[in-house]
Chain A
Amino acid sequence: MLFHEMEASSIASGIREGEFTAKDVVVDCLARMRALEPVLNALITPLSENALAKAVGIDAAVSSGKDPGSLCGVPVVIKDNMCARGVRTTCGSRILGDWKPPYDATVVDLLEKAGAVVIGKSNMDEFAMGSSTEHSAFGPTSNPRDTDRVPGGSSGGSAASVAAGYAPIALGSDTGGSIRQPAAFCGIHGLKPTYGLVSRWGLVAFASSLDQIGPFARSVSDIALVMDTIARYDPRDSTCRPGDRPGYRESIKAPTVRGKRVGIVREFQGGSLDPDLGRSIENTASMLASSGAEIVDVSLPESAAYGLPCYYIIAPAEASSNLARFDGVRYGLREDAADLITQFIRTRSKGFGEEVQRRILTGTFALSSGYYDAYYLLALKVRRRICVEFADAFEAADVILMPATPSLPFRKGELIDDPISMYMSDVFTLPVNLAGLPGMTVSTGMNDSGLPLSVQLVAPRWEDSRLLEFAAVIEAWAGRPGVASGGVL
């Protein structure tokens, strides 16, 4: 049986009902991983032995009549900026060395308590800063749909793992598009939940007012299954919203868009948008209209004009503060010196890669005396304008339909020496983070060259289930994304 092509929900029910074992599933997924990993480099730390031991434990629990949970025996990949107790956590950086956290991130704990089997920690742009997974101290990841191309970033290793069939589901983090852009590039689905819906406790912080953890999967129902597991109030994250969450799988049982209003963003059509991605929006809108939705125009001129510079002040400013903790004292790399300040400078200069250093410097500049009001405070005000602009758009539309990325996956090395062009990859995703909204990349198939097409759906805060309902309708029309060959199999 080709377990690596199955959905998480089918794997869990098959194991629970005794049709096959968790060990069968994990062995198949690990074989897939071993065959493709020399080409893809999607994982920083494979966890084969731990995964097999966990699978054997799950099989024993099932044999003795216990139900290990909704993710019973399901292989899962975790981005390497989420802590797993006793497992090396690198954030794609040299500066953390072989640091092994003494605790689990809340999301890792929730997945494991639901019976999931973590098979590896995935490659990523260093500290989640990048859009191609080329800025990793552990080498670049290749796109399993076309190995000459990047998988997107920063959660490129998680997206590539799911597209290649290492696991049906993975977790990523999204600060400005780091789930939605790699999902688009790898031809799978990816959800950035509403800010505050999923606990960030145990996620190594990049920009704390923007970071959010979310799932990748090859089916909408698996995205809903992961959300039902990880979307929980956690008092350890002060920005996590208290209260119950809706049932996400429940919201896609009988999905309909009839009578709903779908907003198309005038400013995001045409221009430099790849024509195939523009057609993907048009075709999806036509299908939704023929399914009973009303298509309306909405306008987001300030998000279009100011989203990118606003983000590239706020995110680096927060990063410069969050990454001040990496100084060689408490964990990771340490470059010795005779005095403390020189030790800080040597450790940080050796440990951080070039892109991370650029962003720390930019953020430090924006927060420094004489420039705080001119840049950081101004960006915070513009952010408020962007929030209000989205709220106004949602007066006219229940969901916004827009591109996830301006281009199809680009070739490796194409933008690596042009950081500002690389930043443009996230032009459609980062306004959604600035406004704290849920956004989802939904795969809409492939173009004539076999490269992935997609759309992005955006909803008001806390309306993540509405996104899933729309995504389920789109998936029923466009088809579920299949497993990629990874250039080998």
Chain B
Amino acid sequence: MAIDEKDVLHVARLARLDIAPDRIEPMVRYFQDIIGHFRTLEKCDTDGIDPFEESGSHLCPLRDDEPKAWDSVLEALEEAPLREGRFFKVPAIGGGGDPDALS
């Protein structure tokens, strides 16, 4: 498949990234190269393979469902760039100006 600038910009939007104009063309070339490598997998015979089959002895164990206190909420909040009381503070999803103006 041919990947072009439009595809790369679409993926960037999904990934919440902005590609600088001078990086778009190198990124398109990278995608074309790496997808060429990916396509070698099409030669592998995968008929009848269950991709989610667990290989024997290592099943993810479930721990006991016991309530536990998490006592470092305020400590974790201290690392937030912007907070108010016990909450992280962010601008409105659809816009709404300066986050400090929101309350």
Chain A positions near chain B (C-beta within 8 angstroms):
99-100, 102-103, 195-196, 235, 238-239, 241-242, 302, 305-306, 308-310, 312-313, 320, 324, 327-334, 336-341, 343-346, 348-349, 352, 354, 357-358, 360-362, 364-366, 368, 375, 377-385, 387-388, 391, 419-420, 436, 461-462
Contacts and interface: CB of A to CB of B under 8 A. Distances in A.
A371 B12 CA distance: 15
Given A380-B51, A380-B52, A330 B15 contact: no
A196 B58 contact: yes
Interface string B51-85: 11101011011111000000010011011111000
Contacts of A341: 16, 93
B40 interface: yes
Contacts of A436: 55, 58
Nearest to A340: B93
Interface of B: 7-8, 11-12, 14-19, 23, 27, 30-31, 33-34, 37-38, 40-46, 49-53, 55, 57-58, 60-64, 72, 75-76, 78-82, 88, 90-99
Nearest to B58: A196
The secondary structure that dominates the B interface is loop
B94 A348 contact: no
A364 B41 contact: no
B38 A381 contact: no
A341 B96 CA distance: 12
Contacts of B43: 305
Given A364-B11, A380-B51, A327 B61 contact: no
Contacts of A346: 18
Given A339-B95, A341-B93, A381 B62 contact: no
A340 B16 contact: no
Given A102-B72, A329-B88, A384-B50, A242 B14 contact: no
Given A306-B40, A381-B51, 13 more contacts: A195-B58, A306-B41, A309-B40, A329-B81, A338-B91, A338-B96, A349-B19, A358-B27, A366-B38, A381-B49, A384-B51, A388-B55, A419-B30
A-B CB proximity, top 10 nearest: A380-B51, A334-B81, A339-B95, A381-B46, A102-B75, A364-B15, A381-B49, A235-B63, A349-B18, A344-B16
Contact of A348 (B17, B30, B82, B98): B17
A441 B42 CA distance: 32
Contact of A336 (B31, B60, B99): B99
A361 B92 contact: no
Contact of B46 (A329, A340, A368, A378): A378
A361 B27 contact: yes
B30 A462 contact: no
7 contacts: A336-B99, A341-B16, A361-B17, A364-B15, A380-B52, A385-B46, A420-B33
B62 to A, nearest CB: 7
B15 to A, nearest CB: 4
A99 B79 contact: yes
Contacts of B52: 380
Nearest to B64: A235
A277 B98 CA distance: 59
Q: Which of B41, B60, B79 has the most CB of A within 10 A?
A: B41
Contact of A100 (B30, B64, B79, B81): B79
Given A334-B82, A379-B41, A238 B61 contact: yes
Contact of A242 (B61, B95, B96): B61
Nearest to B101: A338
A332 B81 contact: yes
Contact of B55 (A320, A375, A378, A391): A391
B10 to A, nearest CB: 8
A182 B19 CA distance: 31
